[in-house]
């Protein structure tokens, strides 16, 4: 079982881990692409004004240019602890017991823009880069990542993938055709019984869901398993509007 999460724009600063070890990250076949993006971000950071323009960094967030400049030398945190925001605050990985954190390390990947998918416990530095940003000196992130990440999924061959990524990050690494997977959309029902998409509560529900998985040590090998578990756990999971999608009603 593999759970895919999107990253967050907001990140916890600092860290106590050794600097970034590209060779030590999950999915080692992505090494070349990772090196390309990291090098391009470091080069861009040599011009603070240009970096702020390209990355759309406000005056209050100018320190993020320095974060990118130090990608190879700054301390790291486990990816699951680096990200903050609604999803990761709801997951609250720092409060989980050791077995639950171990489960996260074995079953969860977070799809970052500069490093591609990384395992939940992989050490990563603070950075600034979004999925839709065009970085000078390298192809578009979609062109750079999509094929390489899809090939990495092929090699990994998980039994079942629960894809909780946003559409922007799913586009940076589509799952192979025929993969046993489900793309989750979080919805709510209005007074007329019509389902509608959510934003804030979408992220919160995803964090709650993954926390439940980790706390219980859940092992799922199919969409049917997920439906059965969800029903027993009090989650409302329904067929989505398109094939390969499920709706999580909250």
8-state DSSP, 95: G
Query: What is the rounded radius of gyration, in angstroms, for the C-alpha atoms of the chain?
Result: 18
Alpha helical stretches, state H, the chain: 31-44, 48-55, 63-69, 79-82, 86-91, 98-107, 141-156, 167-170, 200-216, 223-233
* Geometric angle at alpha carbon 31, from 50 and 34, rounded to 5°: 15
Q: Is the pLDDT of residue 118 over 70?
A: yes
Q: What are the tokens at 204?
A: 């919160």
Average pLDDT over the chain, rounded to whole?
94
> pTM of the prediction?
0.94
Query: Which of 106-120, 197-211, 234-248 is most confident?
Result: 106-120
Structure tokens at 200: 């804030």
User: Please, which residues have CB within 8 angstroms of residue 245's CB and are 6 or more apart in sequence?
Assistant: 182, 183, 184, 185, 239
- What is the pLDDT at residue 187? 87
pLDDT of residue 198: 57
- Tell me which of 27-36, 131-140, 143-152, 178-187 is least confident: 178-187
Distance of CA 234 to the CA centre of its chain: 25
- β-bridge partners, 2: 161
Single out the residue of 119, 110, 124, 117 nearest to residue 82, CA to CA: 124
Residue in 146, 140, 153, 154 with CA at minimum distance from that of residue 170: 146
């Amino acid at each position: 079982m593999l759970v895919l999460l999107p990253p967050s724009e907001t990140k916890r600063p600092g860290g106590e881990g050794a600097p970034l070890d590209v060779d030590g990250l999950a999915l080692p076949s992505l090494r070349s692409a990772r090196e390309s993006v990291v090098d391009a971000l470091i080069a861009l950071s040599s011009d603070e004004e240009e970096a702020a323009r390209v990355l759309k960094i406000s005056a209050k967030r100018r320190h993020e240019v320095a974060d990118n400049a130090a990608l190879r030398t700054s301390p790291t945190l486990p990816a699951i602890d680096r990200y903050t925001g609604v999803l990761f605050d709801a997951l609250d990985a720092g409060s989980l017991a050791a077995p639950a954190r171990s489960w996260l390390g074995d079953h969860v990947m977070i799809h970052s823009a500069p490093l591609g998918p990384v395992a939940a416990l992989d050490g990563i530095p603070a950075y600034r880069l979004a999925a839709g940003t065009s970085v000078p000196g390298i192809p578009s992130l979609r062109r750079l990542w999509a094929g390489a990440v899809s090939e990495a999924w092929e090699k990994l061959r998980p039994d079942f993938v629960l894809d909780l990524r946003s559409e922007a990050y799913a586009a940076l690494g589509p799952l192979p055709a025929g993969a046993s997977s489900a793309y989750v959309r979080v919805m709510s029902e209005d007074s007329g019984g019509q389902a509608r998409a959510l934003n804030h509560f979408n992220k919160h529900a995803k964090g709650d869901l993954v926390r439940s998985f980790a706390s219980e040590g859940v092992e799922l090998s199919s969409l049917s398993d997920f439906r059965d578990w969800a029903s027993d756990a009090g989650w409302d999971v329904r067929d989505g509007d398109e094939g390969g999608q499920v709706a999580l009603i909250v």
